[in-house]
Amino acid sequence: MTLSTNPEISSEQNMPILNDNITPMTPETPASFHPLSLGQQALWFLYQMAPESVAYNAFNTALIYSKIDIKSWHLAWENIVNRHPILRTTYTAIKGKIFQVIHQQLKLPLQEIDASHWTENELKEKIFLEAERLFNLEKEPAWRVTLFTRSEREHIFLLTMHQIASDLWSSDQIFNELRLWYAAETEQVSLEQIEDSLPKNTPYTQFVHWQSEMLSSPKGEKLWKYWQKQLSGELPIVNLPTDRPRPPVQSYRGETHIFRLNEELIRGLGEVARATDTTLYKLMLTAFLLESIGALPLLSLFQNGT
């Protein structure tokens, strides 16, 4: 998930000429310029096409039932950001080309909010407002953290990331690293113990370089010809049934509903997932689809041991 400030590409590929009077950035200067992957280029295009859309804001929440040392909380995030350059990255267009700008230092987008006097509905509303706040990818990092404090020992941790810089696996990894680094700051766990627990940190720019090289190779040419053939001619129209007419222009209107599952149901879901060697996500999606077409009541999966 991470980006390197020293990718294995030439300086000509790495750094644009801004103008005749500005020296290109190098790894020793406060920021360095790097190309985007094809997936990132697509997300940048969508960001430019619909700048008011939050469709690519991905957010995760976690309940924390413990006291939080705010100084250690901030230090843990500093360690994470230092380890992952993509969390120090902004994006910009120069002479029609898109670059990700990796900064050596960037102000951490952390905030703490007192939510001790809010109702449950007010808390949900504030979480959604924060999760759906627009990112300015050219001026700020593509992530932010909000800590809603309900009491001294109850907090809601909200991590919001734009998908140009993350995916579900990345978010899970950040949660895991936060736990480790916070423990290191508060419990004096040794740096060696932390590093042994962390996965190998492969720079994302290595993937970008590999992708570019592969697509320029004979293998890439073979893939291009294959998909050009597969997608040539008249493509079939897929008329899926919908409950409302599809508008000519996508509106991005939608809604999210948050609800809690009781512990017994969660245990049952976990048992079924393990027994069928599948993920909880696939299991829930299958149950939802069966329920939506009236084929199977959602809870019957667990009521009769099926």
Q: What is the pLDDT of residue 42?
A: 96
In the chain, which residue ranges form alpha helices assigned H by DSSP? 11-14, 38-49, 70-83, 120-131, 168-187, 191-197, 204-215, 218-230, 263-275, 280-292, 300-303
For 144-198, what is each residue's pLDDT tens digit?
999 999 999 999 999 999 999 988 788 888 998 999 899 888 886 777 778 778 8
Q: Provide the pLDDT for residue 303.
A: 53
What's the pLDDT score for residue 301? 52
Mean pLDDT, rounded, of the chain? 82
Examine the pLDDT at 10 and tell me if it is beyond 70.
no
Give, for 141, the enclosing helix (H) or strand (E).
none
Query: Looking at the chain, which residues constitute the CATH 3.30.559.10 domain(s)?
Result: 11-211
245 pLDDT above the threshold of 50: yes
Of 303 and 284, more confident: 284
Long-range pairs for 186-194: beta carbons < 8 A, 24 or more residues apart:
186/69, 186/72
Query: How much is the average pLDDT of 258-282?
Result: 86
pLDDT at 67: 94
CATH topology of domain 11-211: Chloramphenicol Acetyltransferase (3.30.559)
Q: How confident is the model over 103-149, as pLDDT tens digits? A: 988 889 999 999 999 999 999 999 999 999 999 999 999 999 999 99
Task: Specify the pLDDT at position 21.
Answer: 31
In this predicted structure, what is the pLDDT of residue 198?
Answer: 82
